[in-house]
Amino acid sequence: MADRIILVTGSTDGLGRALAGALAREPATTLLLHGRDQRRLDELAAELADAPAAIQTVRADLSELAQVHRLADDIENRTGYLSVLVNNAGVGGGEPDGTDRRLTPDGYELRFAVNHLAAFALTRRLLPLLDRGAPARVVDVASLGQAPIDFDDPFLANGYTGMRAYGQSKLAMITTALVFARQLDPRRVTVNSLHPATYMPTKMVLQTVGHTVDSLETGLHATRRLVLDPAMDGVSGQFFDRTEPARAHPDAYDPRIQQQLWDLSVRLTGRR
């Protein structure tokens, strides 16, 4: 049987790092671990060097779409298929300063760009590899913190807060995950999103809210389940609160909003 090939974005910190460590213990697995800092990637690879899985690292700053597309090119050049894509990289509601609206090099609001547009573009670009790795999975690490998308002002030039931007970006991620799931044969590629845990002890959470609720292990267990559990074979188009099926914000299921967001996301991310 061919090795599983799993790409995890945002693997050098928090949940992504914990997930990388857990998946590295899986035999017959190749991990492609993404981060934006090569030094931290090298440290992670060294830490996992004795694990059963084969470890490769890929670097990109997902706030810049040109680098997102270069990352997809890099993955396409490294492998003929993917088994799992975990869209985990993200910016929380308080880092950078949640009152400081920042734009990316493309002129997009930072949280919308990293949390939604980068994951959307990467998923679209890598769908052929996922189809060749069928049965394959896409796992989007989202949140219960969701806010309606302002299509008249998606970059929130007015009424900006970091938490509103974060919530909007996570609802966008969940909404397009539902569209991907509807478009794809679940026997070949499934697409699901989840709220892994509430206020895990990660740098993002501590900088945003300053306290924790759930353990990192709770989020790791919920996310690993969507990556590996055979019980999830063929399950697609779902949003989970930890390990339980849940309902996202009602807008996520509105066909008009789905289409409007899809069209906006395609236009903003450009190249397929």
Determine the pLDDT at residue 198: 83
**What is the DSSP code (8-state) at residue 159?**
S
Helix (H, G, I), strand (E, B) or coil at 58: strand
Question: What is the spatial distance between Cα 161 and Cα 183, in angstroms, rounded to a whole number?
Answer: 33
Neighbours of 236 (CB within 10 A): 22
Can you read off the two tokens belonging to residue 270? 């450009």
Say if residues 136 and 189 touch (Cβ distance below 8 Å). Answer: yes
Question: What is the spatial distance between Cα 222 and Cα 243, in angstroms, rounded to a whole number?
Answer: 5
Mean pLDDT (whole number) for 108-123: 98
Q: Would the pLDDT of 98 be above 70?
A: no
Question: What is the spatial distance between Cα 141 and Cα 264, in angstroms, rounded to a whole number?
Answer: 21
**At 57, which helix (H) or strand (E)?**
strand 54-59
Determine the pLDDT at residue 215: 86
Determine the pLDDT at residue 211: 47
Instruction: Tell me the percentage of the chain whose pLDDT exceeds 70.
Output: 92
Determine the pLDDT at residue 94: 75
Question: What is the spatial distance between Cα 110 and Cα 103, in angstroms, rounded to a whole number?
Answer: 5
Question: What is the spatial distance between Cα 56 and Cα 33, in angstroms, rounded to a whole number?
Answer: 6
Q: Would the pLDDT of 1 be above 90?
A: no
The yes or no reply on domain 4-269 and CATH 1.10.620.20 is no
Question: What is the spatial distance between Cα 97 and Cα 265, in angstroms, rounded to a whole number?
Answer: 25
Encode pLDDT of 189-221 as tens digits.
999 999 999 876 665 554 555 545 668 899 999
Determine the pLDDT at residue 73: 98
Encode pLDDT of 55-92 as tens digits.
999 999 999 999 999 999 999 999 999 999 999 999 98
Instruction: Tell me the percentage of the chain whose pLDDT exceeds 90.
Output: 88
Encode pLDDT of 148-168 as tens digits.
999 999 999 999 999 999 999
Domain boundaries, the chain: 4-269
Q: Would the pLDDT of 96 be above 70?
A: no
Residue type at position 140: D
Q: Report the mean per-residue pLDDT for the chain.
A: 93
Determine the pLDDT at residue 207: 53
Encode pLDDT of 30-57 as tens digits.
999 999 999 999 999 999 999 999 999 9
Can you read off the two tokens belonging to residue 257? 């909003």
